[in-house]
Amino acid sequence: MRTSRGAGRFPRARRSLAALLASLAVLTVGTVPAAADDGSSAANGVEVSVAAVAPAGDVVEGTTSPSGSVLAEGDTATTAIPADASGDIVLLGQTGVPISIGVPAVVAGSELALADGGSGVFTDPDGATDVVVQPLESGVRIETVINGPNSPTAYEYALGEGIIPILNGDGSVDLVVSSGGISFGVAHVDKPWAIDGAGARVPTHFSVNGSKLVQVVTHTGRGVQYPVVADPAFQADCGIVTCTVRFDRARTYWLASHPSERDLVLALGCLTLAGIGGEIGGLVCGAIAAVIYYHANKAADYYAQGKCYGYRYPISNPPLGWSTAVTRYTYNCR
């Protein structure tokens, strides 16, 4: 396994996360395909199709477990790929919250094959669709390769228990956990794209169905050349540059009207995040709690405006954050 250059940020947490994912990878049910050479050859062909249209990315080479699952550790993210499509892809970043991502059902029953460039490939037995999993330094890219007009136009990614997808106005998606009136971002999914075999853009967008993220690809239009490659890219952690902790209306009011109890609110919040995110959740919340306390005079202003209180901070330095208003009826601002 390669050594993570980003491990110094939260070294104890990184070790515990890697150990957790290693356990998940070893326990994944599945076997290495008997026709390994044939599988690798087909996987290489799919990987080439993706590379022809996908943005350049630093794919992290993983280590294969005895069960056939793969564990890949990047700078700020660790990815486990199951041995077969009945399992979940598991992504962990610096927040410490494991994010399970279901493989699209169209490749159900498919076994994992590894391409030479480090991509994991699941192939539809009927040849309609392939799914390519590429562990990256800061997340994971899951490309759907659509091979013909009879392929599905919607692909579901079931998320793990407690992970809530929030659709943003720009087409991207935030993944959050929420408890006790406090929500915390754990991952970000870039605005999706889809490109056909001639390099032309194909209409695509995300929708949310409960705890499932759905990518819709309108690939049946005239002139579309196959294969079409569609790409959800999951960034570990809560954003590209910054993270945000958000309070609901009740917590915002409490923060604004009970100054003497702010420390209690923050303590509850820290316990909540520590329970959700384990060691790293507690570290992050502990680092920003005192800062939120001193910024909390903003809570009264936001509450009066019908909004909620949020605290946004740089991923690399949580105490250097600032207050931000959360628009009513977005995220957990209810």
Residue-range domain boundaries for the chain? 11-160+193-234, 243-326
Please check the confidence at residue 238 and state whether its pLDDT lies above 80: no
**Whole-number pLDDT of residue 90:** 93
Nearest one of 193, 211, 190 to 203, comparing CA atoms: 193
Please check the confidence at residue 274 and state whether its pLDDT lies above 80: no
**Whole-number pLDDT of residue 265:** 52
Stretch 218-232: mean pLDDT: 91
**Residue 15 burial (CB count, 10 A):** 12
**3-state DSSP call for residue 175?**
strand
- Cβ atoms of residues 36 and 96 within 8 Å: no
63: part of which helix (H) or strand (E)? Answer: strand 63-64
pTM, 2 dp: 0.76
Stretch 297-321: mean pLDDT: 83
Stretch 169-175: mean pLDDT: 91
Side chain identity at residue 311, one-letter code: Y
10-19, 293-302, 312-321, 323-332: range with lowest mean pLDDT: 10-19
167: part of which helix (H) or strand (E)? Answer: strand 164-167
CA distance 81 to 322: 37
Q: What is the mean pLDDT of the chain?
A: 78
**Whole-number pLDDT of residue 91:** 92
In the structure, what pLDDT confidence band is assigned to residue 27 with cuts at 50, 70 and 90?
very low
In the structure, what pLDDT confidence band is assigned to residue 77 with cuts at 50, 70 and 90?
confident
**Whole-number pLDDT of residue 94:** 74
Around 76, how many Cα atoms within 13 Å sit in the side-chain half-sphere? 18
Please check the confidence at residue 85 and state whether its pLDDT lies above 70: yes
Share of the chain above pLDDT 90, in %: 34
**Whole-number pLDDT of residue 271:** 52
In the structure, what pLDDT confidence band is assigned to residue 141 with cuts at 50, 70 and 90?
very high
**Residue 314 burial (CB count, 10 A):** 14
Which of 22-26, 47-51, 79-83, 329-333 is the most confident on average? Answer: 79-83
Please check the confidence at residue 20 and state whether its pLDDT lies above 50: no
CA distance 137 to 169: 26
CA distance 238 to 163: 12
Angle between helix axes 249-257 and 297-304 (nearest 10 degrees) is: 130
